[in-house]
Amino acid sequence: MTAAPPIAGVSKAVQGKLDKLGLYAAADLLLHLPLRYQDETHIYPIGHAPLGQAVLVEGEIIDTNVQYRPRRTLVCRVEDGSGEMTLRLLNFYPSQIKQLSPGKRVRLFGEMRHGFLGMEMVHPQYRMVREDDPVAEALTPIYPTTAGLSQAVLRKLVLAALSGCDLTDTLPDDVLQPLNLPNFAESIAYLHQPPPDAPQALLAERTHPAWQRLKFDELLAQQLSMSLHYQRRRAQSAAAMPARHKLTKALLESLPFPLTRAQQRVTGELAGDLAHPHPMQRLLQGDVGSGKTVVAALAALQAIENGYQAAIMAPTEILAEQHFLKLSGWLAPLGLRVVWLAAGLPKKEKLAALEAIAAGAAQLAVGTHALFQDQVEFKKLGLAIIDEQHRFGVHQRLALRQKGAQPHQLMMSATPIPRTLSMSYYADLDVSVIDELPPGRTPVVTKLVGDSRRDEVVARVRDACLKGRQIYWVCPLIEESETLQLKTATETYETLATTFPELKVGLVHGRLNARDKAAAMDAFKTGEIQLLVATTVIEVGVDVPNASLMVIEHAERFGLSQLHQLRGRVGRGVAQSACILLYQTPLSETARARLKIIYENSDGFEIARHDLLLRGPGEFLGARQSGVPLLKIADIEQDFDLLEAARHAAEKLIVERPDVAERHLQRWLAGAEQYLKV
């Protein structure tokens, strides 16, 4: 692709500022759209200027002086025949006293208000004019900018871009007409220079047809880019690993439960992908406890029965170890070797694991990010599985993939991605959803309890333990400081151990070494510990069916998906489970909203949808942000109809008019889409 021409006639310093706004080429300036507008097309008579809005007035200066009380202020009287007003400047240069001397004409733009001496404007924008200086013909755009880059400079550059750039429409009429969208040149000119009578409300809400057109264009570019990326990946080759129904069948026969219908369906989708000679990139979504692990195991076995190795990477040691235990339990009886790799592994064991992976003696490797470090060499990696994919950065995921020659990739997530997001930012991935929980789960009862009623909670915990149940006590999240969080966890542990002398209380947190962590988890699993005090290290994947009560302290500090994940640790057995969200008053408005959502909803997708509305897509994208063309103009929730229209249009254009697709991408992404890799 050819690089767009840079912005002409701009100093290095100004270009530095423009860089900060992502404006590198003249064409970028075109798409740098105003935040709002000022109406400087009409001069109001001073005597009749409306209050409460910014207005333009003009008059002759009849008096100028500097007052010293209460603050040093430059005060000018201005008059226009209809009335008089005062102009006040609190910070001014000596040169301004001269500039604003009596007899001169000045044009002011600002809000008129009642002052001590009648009407006044404080710190308006102003400019010296001659009689009959023309007023603006269009509304004045106010652009997003950065320190040191004035609106005037930006405006000048945008105007130059408008006249200097190619504004030819990238899209043919047969795409635009059915959607009632105006052409590109008109839309862009309108938004940068709306006529004086432009409907300001439609502009502000960004619902004006000109806005719609540009939003559509942006969404279309995103769809095209995602689709092309998808096609390119499908054009690459990877090992075909057809289902041979040997190991997979053996595992299914050994499981104490049948797969749910959703698990069967998804297993079939994965089996189909693996059989194709193209790299799979599938995102497997399933709410906490929906049974993703066994589905991953079946996919791994399909790779293994084709003579390949598989790897499963998890974001925490606790989770990786759980996977390891569960998977070795399933795979060892089939005569397979599963190895475990984590940072804290003793040297000798680590070497043995590395050797087994390199020699191909281990068919499955389970671990943390330690899996993709340099020393790790697979003999023949065919499938890379990444659990809780959103916890990993792009580079980590890429690194694991690079351990094989184009391995298939399965990403798993219990943080459901709302439909609008999977239609936009995730459109390049195939998605499978396990939308059913295994039978026999009892829904978790959620209770919101103010911190003043802590005693009741303590009584309830004691009661549950006496009935043979196990309990998680989750310590408050302290975002600013890990040390403080650790301290709180230790203190909570000590307090609870004193409160419940008759119970066995344990503690896990992120700073424990792997062995101690594993020991504590084991003790909890076997029932040796009844009350487990924990930080959010237990958030993902931990599976102890006998734990039926969870207390979360300072629940107001947690995010929605975190609360949902934590709550998913209980309700895994037959006993009625409960999750008590202890909160501290007063609650902020968003904290209140979050607690209400988690209280009212148990479905992860529903919670994620609310979360998206509360926080916007940025938080969901996490590591995905790099490489995916981010939307600056369109809003996937507000502009859902346009998103759907863009999706249809993209599908059609790619097949029928690849030249149009290319031209459109060129304008909107100028080559950026080449960098989409994950």
Residues of the shown chain interacting with ligand ADP in the complex, contacts defined by CB under 6 A: 257, 259-260, 263, 286, 288-294, 414, 438, 541, 543
Q: Least separation, in Å, of the C-beta of 494 and ligand ADP?
A: 31
Q: Which of 382, 541, 571, 629 binds Mg ion (CB under 5 A)?
A: 541
420 binds, among ligand ADP, Mg ion, none (CB under 5 to 8 A by kind): none
Residues contacting Mg ion: total by CB under 5 A: 1
What is the pairing mode between strands 470-474 and 531-534?
parallel
Residue nearest to ligand ADP (CB): 291
How buried is residue 626: exposed, middle or buried, by Cβ count under 10 Å (0-12/13-18/19+)?
Answer: middle
Closer residue to ligand ADP, CB minimum distance, 288 or 547: 288
H/E element holding 432?
strand 430-434
Given the complex with Mg ion, which of 341 and 434 has the nearer CB atom?
434
Q: Of the two residues 260 and 492, which places its CB atom closer to ligand ADP in the complex?
A: 260
**Nearer Cβ to ligand ADP (257/675):** 257
- Pick 261 or 515: Cβ nearer ligand ADP: 261
Please choose which of ligand ADP, Mg ion, none residue 433 contacts, taking the beta carbon within 5 to 8 angstroms, the exact cut-off set by kind.
none
Q: Choose from ligand ADP, Mg ion, none: what does 397 bind? Cβ within 5-8 Å by kind.
A: none
Least distance between ligand ADP and beta carbon 320 (Å) = 13
Using DSSP, state whether 121 is helix, strand or coil: strand
Beta carbon of residue 326, minimum distance to Mg ion (angstroms, whole number): 10
Backbone angles phi, psi at 265, to 5 degrees: -60, -50
- Of 374, 371, 375, the closest CA to residue 383 belongs to 371
Find which of ligand ADP, Mg ion, none residue 212 binds, CB within 5 to 8 Å per kind. Answer: none
**8 A C-beta contact, residue 37 and residue 139:** yes
Cβ proximity to ligand ADP, 430 vs 543, nearer residue: 543
- For residue 662, what are the CA distances in angstroms to 200, 224, 655, 667? 34, 9, 12, 9
Q: Classify strands 105-111 and 125-129 as parallel, antiparallel or unpaired.
A: antiparallel
Identify which of 566, 569, 571 has the alpha carbon closest to the alpha carbon of residue 581: 566
Least separation in angstroms between CB 257 and ligand ADP: 4
59 binding partner (options Mg ion, ligand ADP, none; Cβ < 5 to 8 Å by kind): none
Instruction: Closer to ligand ADP by CB, 87 or 385: give it.
Output: 385
In the window 473-532, what residues touch Mg ion (CB under 5 A)?
none
**Strand bridging mode 309-313 / 105-111:** unpaired
Least CB distance to ligand ADP at residue 196 (A):
59
Which partner in Mg ion, ligand ADP, none is near 368 (CB below 5 to 8 A by kind)?
Answer: none
| Least distance in angstroms from the C-beta of 391 to Mg ion | 12
Q: Which does 259 bind (CB under 5 to 8 A by kind): Mg ion, ligand ADP, none?
A: ligand ADP
Q: How far is the CB of 403 from ligand ADP (least distance, A)?
A: 23
Amino acid at site 627: G
Residues 6+ apart with CB under 8 A from 72: 66, 90
Residue with smaller CB distance to ligand ADP, 108 or 384 = 384
Is 404 a binding residue for Mg ion by CB under 5 A? The answer is no
Q: Give the nearer residue to Mg ion in terms of CB position, either 234 or 326.
A: 326
Contact 461, 492 (CB under 8 A): no
HEC string for 264-317: HHHHHHHHHHHHCCCCCEEEEEECCCCCHHHHHHHHHHHHHCCCCEEEEECCCH
- What phi, psi does 458 have (nearest 5°)? -60, -45
Question: What is the DSSP code string of 68-109?
Answer: -SSS-EEEEEEE-SS-EEEEEESS--HHHHHHT-TT-EEEEE
Residue 263 interaction partner, one of ligand ADP, Mg ion, none, beta carbon < 5-8 Å per kind: ligand ADP
Nearest distance, CB of residue 414 and ligand ADP, angstroms: 5
CB 70 within 8 A of CB 88: no
> CA-to-CA distance for 80 and 93, rounded, in angstroms?
26
Q: Between 297 and 612, whose beta carbon lies closer to ligand ADP? A: 297
Whats the size of the chain, residue-wise?
Answer: 678
Helices (H), 436-568: 454-466, 482-499, 514-525, 560-567
Smallest gap from residue 623 Cβ to ligand ADP (A)? 20
Specify the residue, 124 or 541, whose C-beta has the smaller distance to Mg ion.
Answer: 541
- Nearest distance in Å: CB 151, ligand ADP: 52
Question: Which residue's C-beta sits nearest to Mg ion?
Answer: 541
* 3-state SS, residue 446: strand
CB of 299 to ligand ADP, least distance (A): 13
Residues that bind Mg ion (CB under 5 A): 541
